[in-house]
Amino acid sequence: MIKAILFDLDGTLYKSEIIRRKFAEAAYNTIAKLKNISLEKAQLLIEERREELQKKRGSAVPYTLTLLSFGIPIAQWHKENIAFFDPREYLVEDKNLKKILAELKRRYRLAILTNNNTVQAERILEALNLNGVFDRVFTYNTFKLLKPDPEFFKKAAAQLNAKPTECLVVGDRYCIDLNPAKELGMHILEVIGPLDIYNLGSGLDF
């Protein structure tokens, strides 16, 4: 029986081309600054690395993991993207999402499990008007762990007082969100954005 639902944040609870672009620009900016190169060069470097990593892994690689592959400390990347853009300028409330999450909350413990940092995650939840909806918001800062590390999933489940088999993980990326969860015995649901979450209440028959 499912007791807890863990939602990925970016690309799962909202879909925004502007924010995707802002993350990309923040990443270019970070590399340009640290390596003292032009923005154009930084962009080329990062996109080439993303392509390499994608070929190796078989799926698209997020900017956070791409930057880590350059040896950029994650705390620095988070500091840069927090300063570079505020998602509240680009996101608006999603009434359908809020409604379904409120319904799910009556039956399940709800949590966010994101590689994003706490500042950006809180800004995003505020913009979507989802403050207070989640029992827990697990970010990189919570345990200093990143998906797909299975420890991140295990620790989150433990804090929700749920066994892995009692968790459902909802996310938009197999390699980051779903494969590690599945290996731990968690239930998984692939979505391509919030539209797939609107009908989740009736579809949950675990």
Here the tokens at position 113 are 């499990």
Here the tokens at position 161 are 């007082």
Q: Given the complex with Mg ion, which of 8 and 94 has the nearer CB atom? A: 8
Distance CA 182, CA 178 (A): 6
Among 22, 137, 172, 187, binds Mg ion (CB under 5 A): 172
Can you list the pairs that 44-52 forms with residues at least 24 positions away whose Cβ atoms lie under 8 Å? 45/70
* Binding segment toward Mg ion, per CB under 5 A, in 25-33, 88-96, 132-140, 172-180: 172-180
DSSP 125-154: HHHTT-TTT-SEEE-HHHHT--TT-HHHHH
Among 4, 7, 11, 112, binds Mg ion (CB under 5 A): 11
Q: Given the complex with Mg ion, which of 80 and 172 has the nearer CB atom? A: 172
Considering the complex, what minimum distance in angstroms separates the CB of residue 115 from Mg ion?
Answer: 8
Considering the complex, what minimum distance in angstroms separates the CB of residue 178 from Mg ion?
Answer: 10
Q: Given the complex with Mg ion, which of 11 and 148 has the nearer CB atom? A: 11
- Overall residue count recorded for the chain in this entry: 206
Q: Which residues bind Mg ion (CB under 5 A)?
A: 8, 10-11, 172
